[in-house]
Amino acid sequence: MTVSEGNEGDVPAPRSGDEPKFETPAAHVDFPPVRNGVDYLGSVADHLNLGQAYPRDGQELNPRHLKYAVLHLQAAAEVLLKARLVQEHWSLVFKDPGTAKRDRFEAGDFESCTTTGAIGRLRDIAGVAIGDKPAKSLAILAKWRNRLQHYGLTAPAPAVEVTAAQVLDFLVAFVHDELLPALPGPEAAAVADDLVSVGADVRCITSYIAARVKRLTDELKDVADRTVMCPVCDQWALVLGNPAIPLDCRFCHTTWPNAVLALEQYYNNVVMDGNVQDCPTCTQHTLLVEAVGTTASPEASRSLCFCCGTDFAVTAQCSDCYNAFVPDPDEDYGLCGNCINGAVDRF
């Protein structure tokens, strides 16, 4: 998946003041962006009304609140991730650190790296452990923010809530572990206070989510062999093979107009491996071979069709390209579809 992001705004520029800047080690540098970022987090919790009692009794969140929740969460992520990069070295927030100039940094006048770029640098240069799940949620969030600016918000409210909860949960811990220790005492105390309140709201929604997951697991136990992980919310709640189209995630209600698009996103976000072939049962090009995990069998080893939901137990190895494939019982040449087509093309 490619995520293009804007870079405008919310760059952690140093505070203009009399104190010497950047002559001293990181511990002496002040980071007002952290307070700013945590303030955004509080705004997200308010817009999503996270502190309220769940469930919402069918009350949908107002689209305007959802919109500002996405914008402010993305702003918070940018500010906070980049504040940690600045601790490492100020040049790392430049899109191209090789051309970084200190006066431009101090003026806040430069093109900064993307959120995805910041995550990469935090992992590779600063040695900060950022799990794949939060990284994925951050990428989804960045995509929504971009789409929002051009087309308005197209993601369903529950998907925004779930992704926002995952990102909030990550950012609260990130501020606590990575940013607070380097802040001067009074600043750290103020940020810590704000964090406590956001953290309480996040726990409120995460316990609600946990309760829903439990209920859903129960509801879906009869289709456990064709329920896969949703590529948006990471819950085991995407039931394949339902005659009803569009496909939708039973947890976050993200919908896909057809199985091909659901498979594409699943492939990009969840597995990034395995071959796709025509399904011998329904003939659609939506059978992912030996790469799908289901609720019944979570290790990613099943061969499942995203259209009809058939789980093919038997796979063979293509005698030409050696890839695994599901043989069609009617015409088994020992070759996968690609190699059969290739052989046909040669004649």
* Interface residues toward Zn ion, by CB under 5 A: 230, 232-233, 249, 251-252, 279, 281-282, 305, 307-308, 318, 320-321, 336, 339
User: Which of 20, 2, 69 lies closest to 205 in space, CA to CA?
Assistant: 69
Least distance (Å) between residue 262 CB and Zn ion: 11
Q: Whole-angstrom Cα distance, residue 280 to residue 42?
A: 52
Nearest distance, CB of residue 273 and Zn ion, angstroms:
16
Smallest distance, Zn ion to C-beta of residue 174, A: 23
Pick the closer one to Zn ion by CB: 115 or 310: 310
Shortest approach of Zn ion to residue 120 CB, angstroms?
26
Q: Burial code of 319-329, b = ≥16 C-beta within 10 A, e = fewer? A: eeeebbbbbbe
Closer Cβ to Zn ion, 66 or 307, answer by number? 307
163 contact partners, CB below 8 Å, separation of at least 6: 137, 140, 141, 144, 155, 232, 233, 252
In the complex, minimum distance from the CB of residue 24 to Zn ion, in angstroms, rounded to a whole number: 47
**230-236-239 Cα angle (round to 5):** 75
16 or 317: whose CB is closer to Zn ion? 317
- Judge contact between 165 and 209, C-beta under 8 A: yes
Q: Residue 347 to residues 332, 343, 344: CA-CA distances in angstroms?
A: 19, 7, 6
Tokens standing for residue 108: 């806040």
140 vs 183, beta carbon nearer Zn ion: 140
In terms of Cα–Cα distance, which of 80, 82, 86, 81 is closest to 22? 86
Question: Shortest Cβ distance from residue 114 to Zn ion (Å)?
Answer: 24
Q: Would you say 86 or 239 has its CB closer to Zn ion?
A: 239
Q: Closest approach of Cβ 27 to Zn ion, in Å?
A: 42
CA distance 236 to 314: 24
Q: How far is the CB of 10 from Zn ion (least distance, A)?
A: 28
Q: Give long-range contacts, CB 8 A cutoff, 24+ apart: 127-134.
A: 128/84, 128/178, 130/170, 131/170, 133/166, 133/234, 134/166, 134/167, 134/170
**CB nearer Zn ion, residue 79 or residue 232:** 232
Q: Of 119 and 307, which has the nearer Cβ to Zn ion?
A: 307
What lies within 8 Å, CB to CB, of 197 at 6+ separation is: 42, 45
CB-wise, 112 or 163, nearer to Zn ion? 163
DSSP string, 170-204: HHHHHIIIIIGGGS-HHHHHHHHHHHHHHHHHHHH
How far is the C-alpha of 8 from the C-alpha of 143, rounded, in Å?
15
Q: What's the one-letter identity of residue 19? A: E
| CA–CA gap between residue 13 and residue 34 (Å, rounded) | 11
CB of residue 234 to Zn ion, shortest distance in Å: 7
Residue 81 vs 239, nearer CB to Zn ion = 239
Candidates 25, 11, 199, 218; CA nearest to 95 is 11
